[in-house]
Structure 1
């Protein structure tokens, strides 16, 4: 997940090259043509790695489910993690801005609550 997210984070920098080309008077079409050979593979490899990471995370949640998670909650969290990863593969604005954050919230909020509840139950020294 980390490597996929890192590759994904480089994409906006590539997108700003069109702005830089415009500001400097360079050829925008040539800039875009030069970037396509880098942008698409970075997008695909980053998305695939992120999807594989979220799928493995979903498996880990399913295998090591805690006493606070029942079967239904584990299935919801695991399914949301898989949707979270698959949404990264779809380069459409609506999916990126609405589906992906909703799936992330649905997957990670119950995990955060379970972690927080576990810390409150553990005595500190």
Structure 2
């Protein structure tokens, strides 16, 4: 599975270099949980969005935060837990709906697999580059 995903990542990179931003993003979205990766490496605090590295620790509310918003009292941990549970339920409902309609939901990424983390970081970097290039257009 990893070899297939790595090959798809290389094809997406090739599309990106050739200027086919939409094609590159579509390939990534088909084989990686792009939105999950983009969310995972940004501070969850409202209006922050600072970039996080892969060493950021998950909070008990299930969010990831920069050093400024990491203390539970700063990011309102209890309220964030409710918000993140609602988002997770909505994502699960969407996945069920997609499966019922014959579509393929994006894969759920596991960031604790040391073998795959390098691949996920590469895919994340490409997704951010594509988004930045799309914003410039």
Rg (Cα) greater in structure: 1
- Per chain length, whose mean CA-contact separation is higher, i.e. which structure has more relative contact order (CA < 8 Å, sep 6+)? 2
| Structure 1 or 2: more helix by fraction | 1
TM-score by length of 2: 0.30
